[in-house]
Amino acid sequence: MSKPRARLDLLYAQRFQLWRELVNQVDFVRGSVVVLHRPCTRERCARCQSGERHPATYLSYKQNGRTRLIYLSTEVQGTARQWVKNYRQLVAVLEQISDVNRDVLRQLAPSPRTRKARR
């Protein structure tokens, strides 16, 4: 087996492994979990009157160029954080697949330096 062919087979095997990671990915969501401090609606809230605000956790994400927020209750905050982490891992796997695909293209396309000169 020639060296370029062996290198190509290695790249294909690497890409296949990455695809398996991608297919086996669990639930995910694009965004960030953020804590905002907001005033409440009660008129005589001592906390708000003192300048301190109430913390609230949200999933923040962009949609059509606008930032959107989804309120996260205490029960789902852990799930949301895990899904955001899963999304970031998914993006990392996609980047690795892109790197491998670029290497495959380099192997398939002859380099201009290796072409024979015309006479």
Q: Where are the alpha helices (DSSP H) in the chain?
A: 3-23, 46-49, 74-108
Going by pLDDT thresholds of 50, 70 and 90, the confidence category of residue 46 is confident
- This prediction has a pTM of 0.75
**Amino acid letter at 99?**
D
Which tens digits make up the pLDDT trace of 50-88?
A: 888 899 999 999 999 999 999 999 999 999 999 999 999
Measure the CA–CA gap between 50 and 7, rounded to whole angstroms.
Answer: 67
Measure the CA–CA gap between 96 and 89, rounded to whole angstroms.
Answer: 11
pLDDT at 116 over 80: no
